[in-house]
Structure 1
Amino acid sequence: MAGAEQALPQTSQTAARIMRGGRVVACPIDDTLLLVIGAGAPVAGQVPAQVNDDPATATSASIIGWRLAPQPPTATHGFAALLPINDADRPLTTLRLGQESSPRRYIFGPRTLAVREGVTVLAELAGAQLTDVLDSLVDAMMQMPTGRRRLAAIVALTQARKGSDGFLEFVGETHEGAIFLRGWARAADPGNARVIVCGENPVIADCGIATFSRQDTPQGGAGFIGLLAASEPLRARDVEGLVYRGRGGWRYASVHEHRLIAGPTDTPGHIRSVLLQTHSTPAVLLRLRSAANSFEGRETISTLPVPVRLGVDNIFQANSSAFLISGWLLDPDEHVQSVRLRRGQSEMRLDDRWTRLERSDVTDAFTDEPLFKSMLDRETHPHGFIVFAGGLGADGAAPLHLELTLKDSRRAFLPLTPARLPPRQAALRQIKSIDPENWGLTEIVDRQIVPFLCASESPSPGVGAILDAGAFDEASGPPIIVAAGQAEEKELAPFLGLLALDPETRHAPIALVLHSECFRRQAGRIRQLAQFYRLPLRLMSAETDDVYDLLEAGIRALSSETVVLLAGSLLPRRSGWYGRLVSVYEESGGIISPTLAYEDHSVRWAGSWADAQSENSLSGRYAGYPLSAVTGLKLTRIAAASFECCIMPREAFLVAGGFAGSYLGYRQKGQDLGLRLSRSGINSWWLPSVQMLGSDEPFSTGSASAAPLVERIDERLFSARWAPQPQGEGNRIKEASA
């Protein structure tokens, strides 16, 4: 306070010097704009200006002028100029205003003033005309580009009017990001207005204002409500006041010290409590009515008085905020205009992109309901839907909900709690609920499931619990990473027995990776078996039942330069396979896979080769041949190895990014990694003399009826990932198949 009292006499002296004419003072607003205050002959409007007699500074100043009272001998009018400048920190000596033929030259005062000091000088010079001068300055500044410092200057100019124009008594937020205000003011006009929201960082916003009568306001005052929509996020607690243009000019309404702040769930009720008393333009009332009908965190669709109901059966959220939603909408009379998925200010319309399904169960459930009784067609039931939605951002704090808008503009809401799952698991759960004979199956796959998987990000699988059941770290040789899903759980004891009977694998480090549930059930038993057989075994758990993901978790958990991969569904046909793979790898490098055969000793896999029809597709040879037909063949270069069993450099796997997590099955998942490794220059080899026995379906993808659907989805994903490349991109794969 003491500093302010000392400033007053100084500003009075400054005003006296200005009134003697020929002197001006500068108030920097920001780095590129000055407020200049002076006195002299009449001047107003856009006037040419020059600083420090430097032609390079020539610009145009926006000037507001007024007649001085009393008038000193040397000056008849005062003026306030908004002067653009390149550098507000440069020394200021002179100012020229007017045309070159008759310029008026002024000398700057020895120091610049803060805006609030400048307003005090302005008040001394303008007297009773101060209000008009301030309004004109703010009008001019609001036409210019605005920044934080310019808005702060406008707030300071507006606050220079004596007293507040009113108070903000309530500030509330909505889930859509709008800020609701309620209070009273003397000059608020109903309608839409461009305002400045005052606070630590003032911002410009659009405000829809409606007014209403109040008996508890001072004379001339009226109640008002407003709905703010700013281009940047606003919080209710940050609002300290409002600058707006009302009757008679720019006004300032401050926040009352006992203001009430409400959150998104309470604000709509406060709007409804006063909305019917207000009047404004139709557009503003429509906005306020919509805000009053905002999401309040509860389900409101079931209370609609029209025959419209909505339900969600499943909503899955992948790690990247991609959503896969299935449910039903019953709207026999076509009241619904749109269905949107919303989170905060982000939204996505669903009803123009979803795939409709037959849901006779929905028809049956509402047949006896009075509201629907005479409206439902017993022959058709197109009530179900499946839809992929993405791009809502990652604002996990904002509630997720469906917004249903009727054609009469009413809205109703359904809160959602998505199940957060890896995209593969979410897609598998969804397709289990789809009838394979459904007429919309093709569209479901192509428009919903595949885009969901493509848009989802799958984190790299990692291990959880680790249990050493033997001297794993002391064992020599590349570790054998064995992946056993729940389907192989019952075969673990004989599998370990086979490894123990082979003199080579008995002394090799073995990392057995299991699904976490299988680990919990079997860890103790497996540890006893490993100790009985004296196997150097390390047991690991992972939150997946996909064997490729289990293998990847094991690869990432180890630090060896070379690893041997083995699916738990495979069994070696003869002992010595491990040593043979290692010795060939030491000679040839790259990735080496043995022959995979069925239990009847017919070939299941004997190399993947570049397809002659497509450079980005792989095909097999010798499938169905007896093993004797290929056993005598030599080590052969192929386009891609089989990752069910192979030996490979660990670093190459990590650099390639591991297995793509979005595939549902195993065939395209392995081919995808094989193509990536081939394109990175890693050679793949087939070793016919080593053979593994196993079934054709080592990976669980759900029921047998879902298998064709899984295959179709993976084919679409593979095609999307490996679209045709420019000429020359596929040469390396073609060379490998030669």
Structure 2
Amino acid sequence: MKDRSTKADITAAVLLDEDTLILFGAIDLPLPTDGVVLLDGTADGRFNGHCWIDAEGERWFLGAMRVAGLAHMRPSRIEILDANGKRLLLPRLSNVRTNPSHLVAALREVQPQALTGALDIAVAMLAGQQGEGDSDRHTRLLTGLAQAVSRPDGFAEVLGRFHDGALMVQGWSHGFPSGGHRVLVEAVGMSLHDAVAAPFHRPDLPDDAAGLLAILEGPAAMPESIRRIHFRTADGWRHLAIFEHRQVLADGVASAHARDMLGQLQPDAAHHGVAAAVAARYNGVETVSQLDLPVRIGLDMALRVPGAGLFVCGWLLDPTQAVRAVTLKGAGMAIRLDEDWSRLGRKDVSDAFAHDPLFVGRLSPGDYAHGFTAFAREAAGVAGDAEFHLELALADGVAFLPLPCQPPSAESLRRMLGAVNPDSPAIDRVVEAHLGPMLRIAAADRAAPQSVLHQMGRALKCPRVSVMLPVCDGREDIDLNLARMANDPDFAEAEILVVAGAGTHERLAGMVRQAAGFYRLAVAFVAAPGAVDPFEAVTAALPHANADRVLLLSPSVLPTERGWLSALERAIRKPNAVGSVALAPVMASPTLLYEDHSIRFAGIVAVEGPGGAVTYERRFAGYPRDWLKEQEASAVDAASADCAMLPRELLVRAMADGGRYLGSEPKGLDLCLRVRAVGGTCLWLPKLRLVAVDEQTRTVSDPRLERMSALVDQWSFAERWKASIAA
């Protein structure tokens, strides 16, 4: 079928946002009211339009094209397909504007009678974009059109907001429609709301006017900022002006005021609609326990991470399936939870209600799936002190449960992780969509751990190297580590910082003081009780390091010979001297062996798999050390943070952009990748060998919590580096 080329004079073309273009002009062929847009035969979108013939017999059109990424395209061919598949070819656009006032001015000048239709189209576009975020240009277009065509028709005299952000409006009007419809609220911007309204008699008004009570679904603008409320009637757009001496109800008063007004409304269908809307409004009170139905709900935990979302954990006992929906509401949010929550067994709930008259005979033996965990993503710009609640939709009404949200403390975040089922089939999506972003935002607000320095051995003015020995596992004795250092002349001019993190045994400081005196070492004790792992301990102690070079040393790493510190120093001073092509600055690690002398660490390398997926793997792990006989010093993708030397300045720069993880497992690799990201190189020295003792953890942990933490950390690492860590 051939294209139909049209002769058109495009009077105005305005780009409202990245995806939306408004066209106005004269045309010789009618355009479809709804159709498909093809740009150069490939990119497709939607077209909505309106054609009319003016008094002089000329055909005009106003239409909106929505194509993803339209702002970045320069199409040479624009086609519109109607419902029958016929194609209409438009002329190429030459002068596209971004200022909506250009379109409003063109309509005023050329076709003023089309301004009302233009506002109808703009409102329909806004309705189709709800939840996507409206552009400033779209708001300006709506405002300009409304101010051009909307006529005054009454006043809003009493305004008040409900807890869920909905708006109550009381006033009077000649033509405000009864029942359900849509209105535009003009404030700083312009927003579209579903509304339900009913009239009531007022003796002070003329016969053709009536009082009105309207409920506008939220989130609505603050009453103090509202300028007009626009509504559509059969003969065009009108608006309620805001009465100069309007009354703005205090928070929490709107529900009671609206209920008091219901008795004055005319008894018709509109009255029932307003009454239902008022009954559905939350007023801050729990109402589930007042139901005469076998429905009860309990809250175990509600956690909110501002800017990320909410986690809700509790139980719902509903043996007769009376609850049709469970929705989290507040601060302009309305998110259905029961369509996507995880159910958990809660036998204790069944036992607690087994003898309740409402539930006797209704509880199925063995059916204990009453518990739930659910997540809700938070909309942008929600206030930090916003309030939330759960709404239970029933056959003949709703019931509410307030959600007193906990702040994202370390303990509450651990409780959240412990409540999630790591065996859920949807766990990957839960981690990606909810847990990962929530924990990342919570971690970003966490302050760096504080530390206090206690000098316990001799002090050095210019130490050769600063040795960081972090202790975060509850051990009370590191005498063997200090003894090995005292027996090596390399450590005579090294300062040793024993960093005591969270969970440190109270006897550790006394032992360090005693060893420092006995071995005559330059030892300092750094108390950092807020550091939960060795990496946080190093971060806390780094300001106390005085040397230009830092040695990261785990208490589990023990030297087997003297002189290894000097070998590391030579490697980072002159990497080429040890056979490496690496360039300074360098982070250098030796080979680490298990106690049976099999290989624990011999460099970490990136391995590219199918589809370009990158995985970081430990080379030769578990192999006999004889595999290293022919190996020479070489650059690797990552060193070992259990034993590594690097310039202090390089470590400071890498730590400044520290990755946030729940466990310590990915932090060593993350640190090395950050060293490389700021210009450093990782170097592995195969002929320099130390033993890394495979120690048992000294703390008791929840296996389920550990699994969840590992899943979140894997996601965090993959998000940052677009790679994974080999098991």
Q: Give the TM interval when normalised to the shorter protein.
A: 0.5 to 0.7
Cα distance, 1:443 vs structure 2? 3.1
* Cα contact 2:460–2:522 (8 A) shared by 1: no
* Cα contact 2:296–2:316 (8 A) shared by 1: yes
Partner-residue secondary structure (3-state), 2:324: strand
In structure 2, the partner of 1:539 is 526
Partner-residue secondary structure (3-state), 1:578: helix
Per-residue deviation, residues 553-607 of structure 1 (Å, max 9, x unmatched): 5558879764321234444455544333222332325332234455x55446132
In structure 1, the partner of 2:128 is none
* Cα contact 1:502–1:576 (8 A) shared by 2: yes
* Cα contact 1:208–1:284 (8 A) shared by 2: no
Q: Pick the aligned partner of 2:602 from 604, 607, 613.
A: 607
In structure 1, the partner of 2:393 is 405
Distance in structure 2 (CA, Å) of the matches to 1:289 and 1:715: 48
Task: Kindly indicate whether residue 570 of structure 2 is the aligned counterpart of residue 583 of structure 1.
Answer: yes
Q: Pick the aligned partner of 2:646 from 644, 648, 653.
A: 648
Per-residue deviation, residues 297-340 of structure 1 (Å, max 9, x unmatched): 33333333322222232344457524444322211111122223
In structure 2, the partner of 1:416 is 404
Per-residue deviation, residues 528-557 of structure 1 (Å, max 9, x unmatched): 986895636372636341223333455588
- The 3 A distance-change label for structure 1 pair 535 and 171 is same
Cα distance, 1:496 vs structure 2? 5.6
Q: Pick the aligned partner of 1:443 from 413, 421, 425.
A: 425
Q: Pick the aligned partner of 2:340 from 353, 356, 367.
A: 353
Q: Pick the aligned partner of 1:211 from 194, 199, 215.
A: 199
Cα distance, 1:225 vs structure 2? 0.7
Distance in structure 1 (CA, Å) of the matches to 2:238 and 2:635: 82
Q: Which amino acid aligns with 2:568?
A: L
Distance in structure 1 (CA, Å) of the matches to 2:103 and 2:713: 62
After TM superposition, the structure 1 stretch with the greater mean CA deviation from structure 2, 247-256 or 237-246, is 247-256
In structure 2, the partner of 1:593 is 589
Cα distance, 1:384 vs structure 2? 1.7
Q: Pick the aligned partner of 2:668 from 666, 670, 679.
A: 670
Cα distance, 1:281 vs structure 2? 8.1
Q: Report 1:353-432 matches (<5 A).
A: 353-393=340-380, 395=382, 396-421=384-409, 428-432=414-418
Cα distance, 1:689 vs structure 2? 3.2
In structure 2, the partner of 1:295 is 282
What TM-score results when the alignment is normalised by the length of structure 1?
Answer: 0.65
Q: Which amino acid aligns with 1:399?
A: E
Task: Kindly indicate whether residue 470 of structure 2 is the aligned counterpart of residue 483 of structure 1.
Answer: yes
Gapped regions of structure 1 (runs ≥ 5): 1-31, 33-44, 51-57, 62-83, 99-133, 734-738
Distance in structure 2 (CA, Å) of the matches to 1:355 and 1:522: 45
Task: Kindly indicate whether residue 499 of structure 2 is the aligned counterpart of residue 507 of structure 1.
Answer: no
After TM superposition, the structure 1 stretch with the greater mean CA deviation from structure 2, 641-650 or 519-528, is 519-528
Distance in structure 1 (CA, Å) of the matches to 2:719 and 2:427: 13
Cα distance, 1:663 vs structure 2? 5.0
Distance in structure 1 (CA, Å) of the matches to 2:723 and 2:626: 38
Partner-residue secondary structure (3-state), 1:689: strand
After TM superposition, the structure 1 stretch with the greater mean CA deviation from structure 2, 381-390 or 629-638, is 629-638
Q: Report 1:631-710 matches (<5 A).
A: 635=633, 638-649=636-647, 651=650, 654=653, 660-664=659-663, 666=665, 668-671=666-669, 682-697=681-696, 702-703=701-702
- Corresponding residue pairs, total: 601
Q: Report 1:97-112 matches (<5 A).
A: none
In structure 2, the partner of 1:121 is none
* Cα contact 2:143–2:190 (8 A) shared by 1: yes
- The 3 A distance-change label for structure 1 pair 150 and 330 is closer
Cα distance, 1:685 vs structure 2? 0.6
Cα distance, 1:420 vs structure 2? 0.4
* Cα contact 1:463–1:540 (8 A) shared by 2: no
Gapped regions of structure 2 (runs ≥ 5): 1-21, 23-52, 63-99, 123-137, 576-583
Distance in structure 2 (CA, Å) of the matches to 1:85 and 1:320: 35
Distance in structure 1 (CA, Å) of the matches to 2:161 and 2:549: 58
In structure 1, the partner of 2:40 is none
Q: Pick the aligned partner of 2:314 from 305, 327, 330.
A: 327
In structure 1, the partner of 2:179 is 191
- The 3 A distance-change label for structure 1 pair 345 and 671 is same
Distance in structure 1 (CA, Å) of the matches to 2:376 and 2:187: 37
Distance in structure 1 (CA, Å) of the matches to 2:216 and 2:466: 64
* Cα contact 2:310–2:378 (8 A) shared by 1: no
Q: Which amino acid aligns with 2:285?
A: R
- The 3 A distance-change label for structure 1 pair 290 and 193 is closer
* Cα contact 1:355–1:443 (8 A) shared by 2: no
Cα distance, 1:271 vs structure 2? 2.4
- The 3 A distance-change label for structure 1 pair 369 and 724 is same
Partner-residue secondary structure (3-state), 2:681: coil
- The 3 A distance-change label for structure 1 pair 400 and 465 is farther
- The 3 A distance-change label for structure 1 pair 493 and 180 is farther
- The 3 A distance-change label for structure 1 pair 307 and 637 is same
Q: Which amino acid aligns with 1:551?
A: V
- The 3 A distance-change label for structure 1 pair 218 and 716 is closer
* Cα contact 2:150–2:236 (8 A) shared by 1: no
In structure 2, the partner of 1:467 is 453
Per-residue deviation, residues 127-168 of structure 1 (Å, max 9, x unmatched): xxxxxxx9x898578558686598579669877x8xxx6543
What TM-score results when the alignment is normalised by the length of structure 2?
Answer: 0.66
Cα distance, 1:647 vs structure 2? 1.7
In structure 2, the partner of 1:265 is 252
Cα distance, 1:473 vs structure 2? 8.5
- The 3 A distance-change label for structure 1 pair 311 and 185 is same
- The 3 A distance-change label for structure 1 pair 247 and 432 is closer
Distance in structure 1 (CA, Å) of the matches to 2:244 and 2:103: 40
Task: Kindly indicate whether residue 168 of structure 2 is the aligned counterpart of residue 173 of structure 1.
Answer: no
